[in-house]
Structure 1
Amino acid sequence: MFMPVSRAIDQLNDKIAAAVSWALLLAVIICTGNALIRYAFNASSNAWLEIQWYLFAAVFMLASSHTLRRDEHVRIDVIVGRFSKRTQVWIDLLGFLLFLMPISLVILYYGVPFALESLRSGEMSSNAGGLIVWPAKILVPLGFILMVLQGLSEIIKRIAFLNGKLDASAFSKQVATPEEEIEAIKAANKMN
Structure 2
Amino acid sequence: MIEKITGVIDLINEKLGRIIAWATLILVLVQFGIVITHYIFRDGSIFLQESLLYLHSLIFLGAAGYTLKHNGHVRVDVFYGNFSEKAKAWVNLLGTLLFLTPVTVVIGWYSWPFVMDSWSAMEGSIESSGIQAVYLLKSMILLFVFFILLQGLSLVLHSLRIIRGAEHLTEEKLEVV
**What TM-score do the two structures reach when normalised by structure 2?**
0.92
Give the match for residue 76 of structure 1: 76
Give the conservation status (yes or no) of the 8 Å contact 1:65–1:150. yes
Distance 1:130 1:159, change over 3 A: same
Q: CA RMSD in A?
A: 1.5
For residues 2-17 of structure 1, what are the structure 2 equivalents within 5 Å? 2-17=2-17
Q: Does 1:163 align with 2:168?
A: no
Give the match for residue 103 of structure 2: 103
Whole-angstrom distance in 1 between the partners of 2:164 and 2:88? 15
Unaligned residue ranges in structure 2 (runs of 5+): none
* Alpha-carbon shift at residue 126 of structure 1 (Å): 2.1
* Alpha-carbon shift at residue 122 of structure 1 (Å): 1.3
Q: Deviations over 1:142-192 (max 9, x none)?
A: 111000000000000000000011111253139xxxxxxxxxxxxxxxxxx
**What TM-score do the two structures reach when normalised by structure 1?**
0.85
Give the 3-state SS of the residue equivalent to 1:168 in structure 2: coil
Unaligned residue ranges in structure 1 (runs of 5+): 175-192
Of 167, 172, 175, the match for 2:174: 172
Runs of 4+ in 1 over 3 A off after TM superposition: none
Q: Percent identity?
A: 32
Whole-angstrom distance in 2 between the partners of 1:121 and 1:159? 44
Give the 3-state SS of the residue equivalent to 1:171 in structure 2: helix
Q: Deviations over 1:56-106 (max 9, x none)?
A: 110111111111101121112232223222222211111100000111111
Give the conservation status (yes or no) of the 8 Å contact 2:62–2:140. yes
Give the conservation status (yes or no) of the 8 Å contact 2:85–2:168. no
For residues 48-87 of structure 1, what are the structure 2 equivalents within 5 Å? 48-87=48-87
Give the match for residue 142 of structure 1: 143
Give the 3-state SS of the residue equivalent to 1:41 in structure 2: coil
Whole-angstrom distance in 2 between the partners of 1:171 and 1:94? 18
Larger Rg: 1
